[in-house]
């Protein structure tokens, strides 16, 4: 989350009234993330406080947004813990604010777990499998806009900023991913709507009876239709690694995968291609962080991500691939 567009209390109050969400109590800009303008908004209705997230979309268009918001609504209606977008009297989920598309969703309770245990990872794996199955009958379709086509377009743009060794790594990995995408095994992978950005800071946990309770996935604005395996790989690359080195954490990986496959067992092609998709997930976020780092946009509140982190992850995935059969998953 970030703040590129300033929203006044007066403007927020008018929107909350329009959506019949109560009287504005407070509005505060959010500093995490890099794509959109986000505010935490609190209102009071019938003497009860309600908390929301107001998002103004800086890159996504009015035409693109129904996919993301309708997907969240679809999942929420099927019991998946995700923010539920607020509709106006006409049933619309996208509004205009400061000349930009905007949306309001309920704020999830709890907080992100930035130092997860195997128990946290199991909860994420289980909920991700449930989300994939719940989204299988979602009627709208949109490709993963940060998928292979985007990598092919963007890598030449960031290449001049890289060292010789970095350029060699990113070039060889892009060639490998293009080759993988042309294979019959890749074509056979099951597909559907994916989150595509399910990092530790996009999941909320609370505590119930002394144990962690997953209260929701959020920030679906990179979602698209792609392989479920890519979604798994992106998630594993954040939840089940050592952040300092990018190395694989076997215990957290096994708990995540055991929980996921108890809900949706992997197909043979998925077991075969998981190492390749782990590399794909690392490449995707290395490229996007390079792009944001070297070609930044102005924002009044912005925290940049370090691109070298996913360079390390890609090194680990490419140089030390592991065997699914060895892990008995």
Question: Could you give the domains of the chain?
Answer: 9-106 (3.30.200.20), 118-327 (3.90.1200.10)
Digit-coded pLDDT (tens) for 189-217: 999 999 999 999 999 999 988 899 999 99
User: Quick one: tokens of 211?
Assistant: 């144990």
User: Is residue 113 pLDDT above 60, yes or no?
Assistant: yes
The model's pTM: 0.91
Give the residue-averaged pLDDT of 105-114. 96
Residue 65 CB partners (closer than 8 Å, separation 6+): 57, 93, 94, 101, 103
**In this predicted model, what pLDDT tens digit does every residue of 283-328 receive, in sequence order?**
999 999 999 999 876 654 455 688 999 999 999 998 876 655 445 4
- Pairing type for strands 23-29 and 37-45 reads antiparallel
pLDDT at 148: 98
If you write DSSP's letter for every residue of 240-305 in order, what string do you get?
TB-TTT--B-HHHHHHHHHHHHHHSPPPHHHHHHHHHHHHHHHHHHHHHHHHHHHS----SB--PP
In terms of Cα–Cα distance, which of 221, 219, 237, 326 is closest to 276?
A: 237
Q: Is the pLDDT of residue 252 over 50?
A: yes
Average pLDDT, the chain: 93
Q: For residues 120 and 299, what is the distance between their CA atoms, to the nearest angstrom?
A: 33
pLDDT at residue 326 in the model: 44
Residues in the chain: 329
Q: Enter the tokens of residue 28.
A: 């505060």
pLDDT at 154 over 80: yes
Q: Say what the pLDDT of residue 187 is.
A: 98
Query: pLDDT tens digit string along 14-63?
Result: 999 999 999 999 999 987 656 789 999 999 999 999 999 999 999 889 99
**Dihedral of the alpha carbons of 164, 166, 169, 171, in degrees to the nearest 10:** -70
The yes-or-no verdict on residue 1 having pLDDT over 50 is no
* Overall average pLDDT of the 96-105 stretch: 96
The Cα–Cα gap between 164 and 153 comes to 20
Q: What is the DSSP string of 43-81?
A: EEETTEEEEEEEEE-SS--TTTHHHHHHHHHHHHHTT--
């Amino acid at each position: 989350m970030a703040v590129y567009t300033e929203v006044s209390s007066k403007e927020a109050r008018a929107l909350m009234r329009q959506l019949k969400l109560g009287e504005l109590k407070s509005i505060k800009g959010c500093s995490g993330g890099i794509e959109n303008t986000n505010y935490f908004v609190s209102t009071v209705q019938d003497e009860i406080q309600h908390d929301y997230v107001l998002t103004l979309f800086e890159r996504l268009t009015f035409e693109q947004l129904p996919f993301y918001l309708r997907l969240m609504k679809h999942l929420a209606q099927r019991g998946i813990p995700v923010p539920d977008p607020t509709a106006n009297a006409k049933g619309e989920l996208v509004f205009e604010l400061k000349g930009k598309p905007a949306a309001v969703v309920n704020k999830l309770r709890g907080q992100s777990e930035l130092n997860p245990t195997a128990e946290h990872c199991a909860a994420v794996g289980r909920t991700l499998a449930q989300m994939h199955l719940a989204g299988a009958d979602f009627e709208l379709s949109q490709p993963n806009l940060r998928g292979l086509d985007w990598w092919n377009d963007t890598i030449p743009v960031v290449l001049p900023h890289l060292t010789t060794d970095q350029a060699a790594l990113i070039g060889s990995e892009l060639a490998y991913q293009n080759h993988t995408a042309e294979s019959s095994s890749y074509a056979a992978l099951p597909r559907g709507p994916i989150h595509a950005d399910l990092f530790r800071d996009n999941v909320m946990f609370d505590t119930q009876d002394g144990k962690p309770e997953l209260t929701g996935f959020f920030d679906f604005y990179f979602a698209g239709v792609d392989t479920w395996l890519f979604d798994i790989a992106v998630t594993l690359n954040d939840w089940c690694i050592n952040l300092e080195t990018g190395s694989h954490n076997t215990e957290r990986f096994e708990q995540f995968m055991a929980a996921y496959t108890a809900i949706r067992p992997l197909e043979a092609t998925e077991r075969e291609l998981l190492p390749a998709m782990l590399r794909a997930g690392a490449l995707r976020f290395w490229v996007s962080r390079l792009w944001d780092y070297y070609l930044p946009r102005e924002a009044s509140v912005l925290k940049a991500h370090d691109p070298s982190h996913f360079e390390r992850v890609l090194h680990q995935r490419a140089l030390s691939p592991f065997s699914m059969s060895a892990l008995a998953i």
